[in-house]
Structure 1
């Protein structure tokens, strides 16, 4: 015998009333809009337009100046501005327009092509710096807002989400830039150097690249990377990195060699050549050597080698682990400071 439970109208109304109403689409869209508006009003005054003039020689050797533009944002009340290296690198003159319309000439404090970051400075009163956040605290899917000057259209605001974290991107210098943020917030030429902002108004990235003709695939350098680079550029005008003077390529290692020498990697860096007088040349590295380690750290690729050659290694005796033929050798080497040699 089946049992049928009857619910009176009174009980049904009580049960229905206890179920929370779903938030309407209008309310959700309004909350989204208010978040974007709040970010734009909070960070907009910190964003600047950067006009760059570069020397250009023509057929009759008459020097003229080519103009380009990009974005940047104030990071201190005394006029330091963070932007992209590719925006200001090699500029003969840099002009900055503030959000309130004031214009002035900026000086280049330092730039680092390996992270595509640069710091310039303008001298003016009543400046509004942006608040820097923590890029390690962001999550895939969260709302982000990009502010910049695409094609010279000042104070353009676009919104999207964090599409992915921990991406790697090749800088124009050839080095690999790690911990890059991927977003679908629309970026265009001229957005470079502008801030990528979380919904709380804190900058979590520096907009740096787009992929053409792809849509919705844009990248920003994580603000935690930018904090480190910015501090070094303001203090010294440059980033110190180690250099050993090797031209190489990534190669697989024979399985027998990996097993015989109990190597922690299955690939290494094949030495194609060494620069005359370089640390590698002086240490006796020769063409055909395969680098598989630096001190106690495994080296599986050129990018690994770049990551290990930090400024702290400059002038310090280090040990390269090298496969030469079938032998594993330890080669003592003292890295020098990189002069953009790679």
Structure 2
């Protein structure tokens, strides 16, 4: 009888002895078991807060049906989902994994971020998921998507965060900033469901995939979703001031942070300035790096939206920017977004 002998080498090319090879195999198995257990624990904790959103709608005079996912974020039944899931809805029904069904009403929606807020029509206290601080996310972290792709309820996929600070164009043509890219597989029906970290907290609301590409899936960051939720509960809609810039997240080099005594790791880089807009009138230019607005540190693009809320519309705010290594300040009067 012939025996196959497997030889194992370490990173430096030195052959491991059988006992060492067996130990390495056990360590690898333990790591995979730990990963699996972490995903299982998260799914057990979050799945009761995930709902299947079923919609009867009318578009262009035609009646239709659609579906997506949503996540309960408060025990009294507030639910985050995608605007495109409920757009044109005449009636909304929610289904939980345990078979319960109840109606829902639309509290408010924000097409600019593709986020909508629903209220479950039930007197029961519901299981809910907590929102994470998406500014703390780093590429390579575990990302778990839970939803109802193609109608298959409570489907789970797992992967990693591929990138943060992406921009994605919403259905109304506006750019959604601070979008998370993940390789956790998403399909039609996942829209509106949660993207969750290894602690079981929601880091994003799944919103889109790139058709024809594998592993290019996107979620609206939880900080953006939380901002929209707060605005809708306060005003019934999201009122925003705008400066007339296109910007993206940038990492601040350590030497600049040290020289300027900055505690933030990132800022926003201005890619272009709208002609005759507030930023243009104030003197901002493409290539400027904005580190603060109205005295608030700007570590990412979502921070700008939170600063430019309703009370700052048509009111002077001070933008602190870096230009050619020099720190400058400009007075900007934001306009209300139309």
Give the 3 Å change call, closer, same or farther, for CA 179–337 of structure 1 in structure 2.
closer
Question: 2:163 corresponds to which residue?
Answer: 164
Give the 3 Å change call, closer, same or farther, for CA 267–315 of structure 1 in structure 2.
closer
User: Which of residues 270, 274, 280 is equivalent to 1:269?
Assistant: 274
User: Which of residues 92, 99, 102 is equivalent to 2:100?
Assistant: 102
Mapped contact 2:279–2:332 kept (Cα < 8 A): no
Mapped contact 1:268–1:299 kept (Cα < 8 A): yes
Q: Which runs of 5+ in 1 are unaligned?
A: 1-15, 58-62, 250-263, 272-279, 281-290, 320-331
Structure 2 counterpart SS, 1:233: helix
Cα distance between partner residues in 2 of 1:266 and 1:87? 31
Alignment of 1:242-281 (within 5 A): 242=241, 268-270=273-275
Q: What is the root-mean-square deviation in Å for CA atoms of aligned residues?
A: 3.5
Q: Which runs of 5+ in 2 are unaligned?
A: 1-17, 247-268, 289-300, 319-330
Mapped contact 1:265–1:292 kept (Cα < 8 A): no
Mapped contact 1:267–1:292 kept (Cα < 8 A): no
Structure 2 counterpart SS, 1:173: coil
User: Which of residues 69, 86, 89 is equivalent to 1:88?
Assistant: 86
Residues 74-132 of structure 1, C-alpha deviations (whole Å, 9 max, x = no match): 00000100011111122111111122211121110000011111100112213101122
Give the 3 Å change call, closer, same or farther, for CA 88–299 of structure 1 in structure 2.
farther
Mapped contact 1:293–1:299 kept (Cα < 8 A): no
Please identify, of 185-194 and 100-109, the stretch whose mean Cα deviation from structure 2 is larger: 100-109
Structure 2 counterpart SS, 1:212: coil
Question: 2:207 corresponds to which residue?
Answer: 208
| Number of aligned positions between the proteins | 272
* TM-score, length basis structure 1: 0.69
Tell me how far 1:267 sits from its aligned partner: 5.6
Give the 3 Å change call, closer, same or farther, for CA 104–19 of structure 1 in structure 2.
closer
Residues 27-70 of structure 1, C-alpha deviations (whole Å, 9 max, x = no match): 2222121111111100000000001111145xxxxx55200101
Cα distance between partner residues in 2 of 1:268 and 1:27? 52
Mapped contact 1:145–1:157 kept (Cα < 8 A): yes
Question: 2:282 corresponds to which residue?
Answer: 295
Question: 1:222 corresponds to which residue?
Answer: 221
Cα distance between partner residues in 1 of 2:206 and 2:271? 35
Residues 153-196 of structure 1, C-alpha deviations (whole Å, 9 max, x = no match): 11000000111111111222222222211100000011011000
